[in-house]
Structure 1
Amino acid sequence: MKAAAETMPTLRAKHVTPHAFRHATAVHLISAGVDVTVIRSWLGHVSLDTTNHYARANLETKRKALEKVTAPTTPGGQPSWKRNASVLAWLDTL
């Protein structure tokens, strides 16, 4: 810790535990796309539910997921339900 604090003085005030390293590593592995079952095995968890705690998406993971999503394209420019008069009439009755 002393060697790390020489490079990053703010670490002097931090209480870094082995669990913090373990947690940070698991979160980074999830973010890198490593399968959660592999991480479970590496961490020695019996239950996948325990490992899923690390799979809570961080903002970077959410951003990457949104970048992969494209707007759906439909022929005619409108979804089929908007082109179907009977569906629109039914929706008006609700």
Structure 2
Amino acid sequence: MLEGGAEINVIRAWLGHASLETTHRYAEINMRMKEAAMRLCEPSDQLSSSATSHTGAVWRDDKSLLDWLRQL
């Protein structure tokens, strides 16, 4: 909502937050942060091939998951 132009106090009221600080915590989480968190879930290059059946991040190929993450 913030990226769409809504004022932070309006967002606070819509979400029912008593404190603007709470709303700011949520507003700080953007797509860049979500992608960084997802990168942490990728298999490490140091894992042996027997430990994992794939070396790439399967979630990157899951269109429905990526669409859902963009809506968060």
Q: TM-score band (shorter)?
A: 0.3 to 0.5
Q: Select the structure that is richer in helix.
A: 1
Using the size of structure 1 for normalisation, the TM-score is 0.30
State the structure with bigger RCO (CA 8 A, min sep 6), 1 or 2.
Answer: 2
Using the size of structure 2 for normalisation, the TM-score is 0.38
Q: Which has the larger radius of gyration?
A: 1
